[in-house]
Amino acid sequence: MVPSDFLRKIDASWTLFIDRDGVINERLFGAYVMSKKDFVFKSGVLETSAKLFSHFSNVFVVTNQQCIGKGLVSEEAIQEMHQWMVDEFLKYGANIDEVYVAPELNNEKSRRRKPNVTMGLEAKKNFPRIDFSKSIMVGDTDSDIEFGKALGMKTVLVISPEQCYSAPDLKVGSLEALNSLIQ
């Protein structure tokens, strides 16, 4: 199978998992997006979201947020920001079913933080019809791609300044570009 052939098989039984920083919003290298004022949607994301999300039965955001573990921001503040993000998508007719957050530090033995699969398994527990073999993980880092592969998903890398050594099934420049490839 040509790497992007799986895109032709997508129908309403598929699930979309998306990383946040660097995919949905601009990533702040060396800093954290901890409030609405720091949260800048990537170009075209909101405008493309309704069409992109409509191809899938469920859409989930899975995000590592060690800024919580560092005590820089509360879990409640991040939840409020995520609710605002979800509401912004809804304004464009795009629904996100759930946002899963890993608050642990990068150097901890975290069970939740990507590339560990806990957030994916939690989504499956909450939405039992998820079939990981009919799921796509879209991210911009090795941990995103490794998370998707460990669960048996197809993986899509959004190219960013961060070097990624994992081999995704597909590389794109943006969610908008991914949407244009789905029939």
Instruction: Report in angstroms the alpha-carbon separations of 85 from 70, 79, 80.
Output: 22, 10, 9
d(CA 133, CA 129): 12
Q: Which of 19, 140, 144, 169 is catalytic?
A: 19
Whether 5 sits among the annotated catalytic residues: the reply is: no
d(CA 30, CA 157): 21
Whether 144 sits among the annotated catalytic residues: the reply is: no
Q: Where are the alpha helices (DSSP H) in 14-165?
A: 45-54, 66-69, 75-91, 118-126, 142-150
Q: Which of 21, 140, 144, 169 is catalytic?
A: 21
Cβ(71)–Cβ(88) under 8 Å?
no
In 10 A of CB 47, how many CB atoms? 13
DSSP letter, residue 13: T
d(CA 128, CA 166): 28
For residue 182, the number of C-alpha atoms closer than 13 Å in the C-beta half-sphere is: 22
d(CA 53, CA 94): 6
Residues taking part in catalysis? 19, 21
